[in-house]
Structure 1
Amino acid sequence: MTQRAAPSPSRSRLSTALGVSSLYRRLFGEGEILVATHREPVVWVERPPEETRKSAAPRLRYPAGGVSQSLHRLLLQTGGDWVALRSSPGPNPLTVSLPDQPASYELHRILLSDPNISAGYQRFANDLLWPLFHEEPGRVLTHPGDFEHYQHVNALFADRMATLLEKRHNGFVFIHDYQLALVARGLRPRLSKNPPPLAFFWHIPWPRHSFLTEIPERADIVRGLLEHDLLGFQTPLYRDRFLESASELLGDEIRIRRQTVLWQGRKIHVGDYPIGVDPDRFESLAQGPEGPGLARKFLRQVGMDPEIPFLISVDRMDYTKGFLKRLEILETLFRRYPEHVGSLRLLQIAPPTRTTHPPYQSYQTRVRQAVRETNARWARDGWEPIVTIEETVEHRTLAPLYRLAAGALVTSTNDGMNLVAKEYLATQKDAGGTLFLSRYAGAAHGLRDAVLIDPYDPEGSARIIHTALEEPLAIRSGRNRILREEVLRHNIYEWMESILNEVHDLKNR
C-alpha cells in the first residue's frame, strides 16, 4: 500500500477552550453566546441523604458528547445562556460554574409537560427525520399530527430564546441539529433591528434529494434552516446536497452563488465545518501514568486477557452504526482466515439508546441475539470472539483501551462524522493500531489515508482487515502519523475557530 510522506507538524492556532474564548473576546467583545440543543450539556444529580449532610452542592454529571462538552467549556469561559429540553431535576435556570469561581453561564431547561406533545415531537424527529436523513426509508414511521407537535416544541425554544435576547446583548446565537430545525423561524421575527447572527450546525448527514420526497414538510424544513445567517454541515458532500435540495424545493424563491444562498432579501452562508476532537486530552489520558493500568484492569473485569489482541468498537446501539454488518464481517474474517479464531476478539462498547422506543427495542434485541449466535458458533476453550459492554465507558478508561487495541472497527452504514475514529487516532502516537473506517462515515472524507472498509461487503472488508493486521509495524505507524496530523490540525477548537471567524465576518459585512 503506497503512502504519502507524513506532512511536517502543523497545528490549529487554537488547541484549548481558553484559546477559543480569547478569540471570541477579540471578535465579539463582551457579547455572550446563546446556545440551543435538544439535550442538556450537564445533568443535575441529587445527592444521597448521607452526602447531603456533608455538602449541599449538587453533583453535575457531564454526558458523553465531544461537541456539547466543548461548547460547555467555552461558555464557562465566555459566559452566556444555554437552552435545552429538561431531563433532570434541580433549579431552573441552573447556574453552571467552575468550582470556586463566579457563575459562568445559565442553563434554561424547557419542560414538556404534555406527554402527547413530547411524544409527537420525538416521533417526528426520530421516526421520520432520523431514518430518512440516514437514507433508511424502510425504518420510517409516520403519525398524524407529529409535525404540529414538532413545530410547537421548536416554538417553545424560540419563545425562551427571544426572552433571553431581550434582556442582554449576545454575541451570536448557535442552534444545533435536526431536532431544532424550525427554531429560527419563530425567533427571527422577534429580534431587534440589529439582531445577533444566527448560526446553525446540522450534525447528521444530508441525504440525496430523492429521500426527501418521503417528508411532506420538506420545504418547511429547508425554509426553517434558511432563517439562519450561517448554516454548517460536516462535509462538502452534505453541504452540496442541501444546496441541491434548496434549489429543487424552493425554485425561484432563491438564488445560489457558490456557498451563498440569496433568499428573502438576505444572504445565508452555507459551509462545511468538519467536527474534530480534543486530541491532546485523549493522548494524555491514553499515555498518562494511570492509563495502561486502567485499561488492563477493565479488560480483566470483563473477562478479557489483556495479552490477546482485540479490536474495539464504540457506538450507541443504533442501526446507523451497522452492528449486524459488523458481525457479518467478523464471521467472514473467522471463516476465511481461521488463524484469527482464538487469537483476536472484538470489544464492543455499545450503550443502548432510545430504550423505550419499540423500533429500537426490536433492533437491540436482534443485535444481542446475533452476538449470542456468533459467540456460540466460534467459542473455543473459554475464548469467545465478542465481548459487549452495554454502558458508557469514561474517557479516562476508554482512551488507554483505544491505545491498547490492535484496531478500531467503525462500521457505520451512514454517519454524519463519527468522532470515535478521531478519538482512536489521537491515542496512536508512535503506535501501530489500525483504524478500519467505514467509507460511509463523514470522517472518511478527511481521513483519506485510513484503511477504508465497506460494511455492505463483508468478504472485501474481512480481507482488508486481515491484510492490515498482518502489515509490519513501520507501515501501520507511518499511516497513523499521517492520519494523526489530520486529527491534530482539524480538532474541536479549530472547528469552533472556523465558525466564530465566519460568523464575525458575516456580522461585519
Structure 2
Amino acid sequence: GLVIAGITVVVAQLSWRGWVNGARALMRGEVLFSPLPSGPTASPELAPLANELRNRMRDLEDEFRRSQGVHSEWNAERLRALLNTHISGDQVIVVSNREPYIHERTADGVVVKRPASGLVTAVEPVMRACSGTWIAHGSGSADRDVVDANDRLQVPPGHDDYWLRRIWLTPEEEQGYYYGFANEGMWPLCHVAHVRPVFRESDWEAYKAVNQRFADAVVAEARSEDPLVLVQDYHFALLPAMVREKLPQATILTFWHIPWPNPESFGICPWRKEILEGMLGSTILGFHTRYHCKNFIETVDRYLEARIEHEHSTIAFREKETLVESYPISIEWPDEDAMRSWPSVQACRLRVTERLGLPADVCLAVGVDRFDYTKGILERLNAVERLLEKWPQWIGRFVFVQVAAPTRSALEEYRSFQERIERVTARINERFSRPGYQPVHLLAAHHEPDAVNELFRAADMCVVTSLHDGMNLVSKEFVAARDDLQGVLILSRFAGAARELAEALIVNPYHVEETADALHRAASMPPAEQRERMASLRSTVRESNVFRWAGRMLLDAGRWRLRARIEARVRRHQVE
C-alpha cells in the first residue's frame, strides 16, 4: 500500500510539473500561435485551455477594436500619433488608378486639378497625415512635364507632404484595363446595376499586365521587406497576390470601394477564381458594410478551397490568413478655420440664385454626381417630375439643380446614359417651365470643391438616389457643409451611408411616388425638425470621419504586424 501511495504521489507531482510548465508556455504564447506539439511529450490536457485562451485573446482584440474611435475625436494629429506608436518607422504606400492631382496644359499654362473622386476625397487627407508614396496612373496632359527622372513629384502643391509616383499607360492598355475589364466588366458586375457586364479576353490580358506593372512599382518603391501597402479599389484585384509574391512580409490592406455582389452574380465573371485568389493576397480586406463582407466570404466559400472562420471573419488560403472587415469610409471633417472662411449661407444662396436666374423664394434641391448609371439620376428626375404633377403649387418655386461631371465618355453605355438624362431634363422643362422659371438645371461639368460647397450651403435639400453604392460621400459632404443646422438630406436605402445616416429621409429610388413624397416632405419640413435632424447627422459624420476610417484599418494592420512578429519569434525559439 505504501509503495502504491508513493508511486501515486510521484506521478501526481510529475503531472503537476508538466501542467505548470505547459501553462507557462501558454502564457508565453508558445501554443497560442502554433499547434500543441504531438508525441510522448505532448500535454493533451492543455489543449482545451490553449483553445480557450486563444479564443479569449481574439475576443479581447475584437473588443479593443470596437472601443477605438468612439470616445475621442479622430483627426490628423491622432492619426499621426497612431502611426508613431503602432506603425513607427513603417513605410506607407498607396496604390490607386486615379491620382490625387492632375496636371493639365491650358492656354494659360499648366494648371493643377483635383479629380471628382470619392476615393481621392477619402484617401488624400490620410496621406497628408502619414506621408509616404502614392502610386497612380498619370493621366493629365502635362503630367510628364512635372515629374523627376523617376516619374515622381511631391504633393500637394506648395506643401509637399508626400510623394506621387506616376505610372504611364498606352491608350491600348488604358482601353483594355480601365475602360474594358474594370468598367465594362467589374463595375456593373459589382453594382448589379441592370447593365450587362462585358468580359473580353483582350481586356483581361491588359488588366493582368497593368496590375503587374503597378505591383512592380510597389516593389521598386519599397524601402524595406515589410512596407504597409494600401491598395484601393476594383482596378487592382490581382495586385495584392502579386505584391505578396515579391514581398511576403508586407502588410497589404485592400479596400474595395464599391459593393460586392452575391456569389451567384459574381459567378458571371469568367475569371472569378483568379480575382478571388488575387484579393486573398491581402492581409486585411476591407468593405464598406458587413453585408458586403458577408457576400465576399460566401463567394470565396462557393468558388475556392479555403478555410473560413466566420466568427472572426478570417479566410485562410494557401497558408496565409486574410481578415475581412467592414470600414465605413467617410470625409475629412472641416476644421474651425475652414468653416470660418466659408461665405455665409445667405451669401451662397444669393450667388447661386443670381448665377442661375432663380426666383428669390426658390425651394432649391441639389444633386452632385458623376454621370453614372448607378447614381440614380434618372430616377431622381422622374421623382421631380412626379412632385410637380402631384403638388402643382411647387411649379414656379421648386428648382432642382443637378451637377453631373462627365465620366468614362469613351464607353457607349455612359454616352447613351448622358444623352437620355439630357432628353428627360428637356422634357420636364418643356412641361413645367414658365416665364422666368425653369424647374431643372443640368450642369454637365466638373465643379471644384468650393463651388460644390457653395451649392450645398445654398440648397434646401440634397438628393442622393444611388441605385447601389458602396458608401456615397456626397451625402456626408452635404452634412459637413451645413453648419447652420438647416437643410434636409434625402438618401437612397441602397447607399452604404444609409446605415449610418438614419436621420436622413431614407427612400427607395425605384419607387417614384415615395421619392416624390420625400421631396415634398423635405420642402415642407419645419426649421426646428431640420435642426434636430442635421445636428444628429453632423455628430455622426464628425465622429465617423475619414481619419477614424483610416485609423481603424491601421490599428488592425499594426495588430496583425505585431502578431506576425510574435509568431516568428515563437517559431525561432521552438527551433532553437
**TM-score calculated relative to the size of structure 2:** 0.80
Instruction: Report the counterpart of residue 427 of structure 1 in structure 2.
Output: 481
Contact 2:230 2:253 in 1 (8 A): yes
Q: Unmatched 5+ residue regions in structure 2? A: 1-68, 564-576
Structure 1, 135-144 or 480-489: larger mean CA deviation: 135-144
How many residue pairs get aligned? The number is: 487
Deviation at 1:74, TM superposition (A): 3.5
1:22 aligns with 2:81: yes
Deviation at 1:15, TM superposition (A): 4.1
Instruction: Report the counterpart of residue 60 of structure 1 in structure 2.
Output: 112
1:200 aligns with 2:254: yes
Cα distance in structure 2, aligned partners of 1:137 and 1:390 = 23
Cα distance in structure 1, aligned partners of 2:340 and 2:193 = 36
Q: Unmatched 5+ residue regions in structure 1? A: 1-9, 52-57
| Residue-by-residue CA offset, 1:273-331 (whole Å, 9 max, x unaligned) | 10111232599448734665355324322322454111010000100011111111111
**What amino acid is the match of 1:351?**
A
Contact 1:18 1:74 in 2 (8 A): no
Deviation at 1:400, TM superposition (A): 3.4
Q: How does 1:357-372 map to 2 (within 5 A)?
A: 357-372=411-426
Q: Which of 196, 205, 211 is the aligned partner of 1:154?
A: 211
Change (3 A) 1:170 1:305: farther
Partner of 1:412: helix, strand, or coil? Answer: coil
Change (3 A) 1:20 1:169: farther
Q: Which of 297, 310, 316 is the aligned partner of 1:257?
A: 310
| Residue-by-residue CA offset, 1:188-230 (whole Å, 9 max, x unaligned) | 11115xx221100000011122211211111211111111000
| Residue-by-residue CA offset, 1:145-182 (whole Å, 9 max, x unaligned) | 221111111111111111222x4466411000001110
**What amino acid is the match of 1:264?**
R
Higher relative contact order (CA 8 A, sep 6+): 1
1:138 aligns with 2:191: no
Change (3 A) 1:445 1:415: same
1:94 aligns with 2:152: yes
Contact 1:12 1:490 in 2 (8 A): no
Change (3 A) 1:13 1:405: same
Instruction: Report the counterpart of residue 25 of structure 2 in structure 1.
Output: none
Partner of 1:350: helix, strand, or coil? Answer: strand
**What amino acid is the match of 1:149?**
A
CA RMSD of aligned residues (A): 2.4
Deviation at 1:267, TM superposition (A): 1.7
Change (3 A) 1:350 1:281: farther
Cα distance in structure 1, aligned partners of 2:507 and 2:424 = 21
Change (3 A) 1:21 1:451: same
**What amino acid is the match of 1:93?**
D
Q: How does 1:110-509 map to 2 (within 5 A)?
A: 110-113=167-170, 115-122=171-178, 123-165=180-222, 167-168=223-224, 171-191=227-247, 195-250=249-304, 252-258=305-311, 259-281=313-335, 284-285=338-339, 288-289=342-343, 292-305=346-359, 307-509=361-563
Deviation at 1:70, TM superposition (A): 4.8
Deviation at 1:111, TM superposition (A): 1.2
Change (3 A) 1:77 1:142: closer
**What amino acid is the match of 2:240?**
A
Cα distance in structure 2, aligned partners of 1:478 and 1:333 = 25
Structure 1, 308-317 or 460-469: larger mean CA deviation: 460-469
Change (3 A) 1:12 1:196: farther
Contact 2:290 2:326 in 1 (8 A): yes
Contact 1:351 1:392 in 2 (8 A): yes
Instruction: Report the counterpart of residue 132 of structure 2 in structure 1.
Output: 80
Q: How does 1:35-46 map to 2 (within 5 A)?
A: 35-46=94-105
Cα distance in structure 2, aligned partners of 1:286 and 1:411 = 31
Contact 1:291 1:397 in 2 (8 A): no
Deviation at 1:109, TM superposition (A): 1.4
Cα distance in structure 2, aligned partners of 1:505 and 1:256 = 18
**TM-score calculated relative to the size of structure 1:** 0.90
Q: Determine what percentage of the aligned residue pairs are the same residue.
A: 30
Cα distance in structure 1, aligned partners of 2:476 and 2:368 = 12
Contact 2:396 2:434 in 1 (8 A): yes
Partner of 1:82: helix, strand, or coil? Answer: strand
Deviation at 1:347, TM superposition (A): 0.9
Rg larger in 1 or in 2? Answer: 2
Instruction: Report the counterpart of residue 3 of structure 1 in structure 2.
Output: none
**What amino acid is the match of 1:254?**
R
Deviation at 1:62, TM superposition (A): 2.3
Cα distance in structure 2, aligned partners of 1:105 and 1:307 = 47
Contact 1:44 1:60 in 2 (8 A): yes
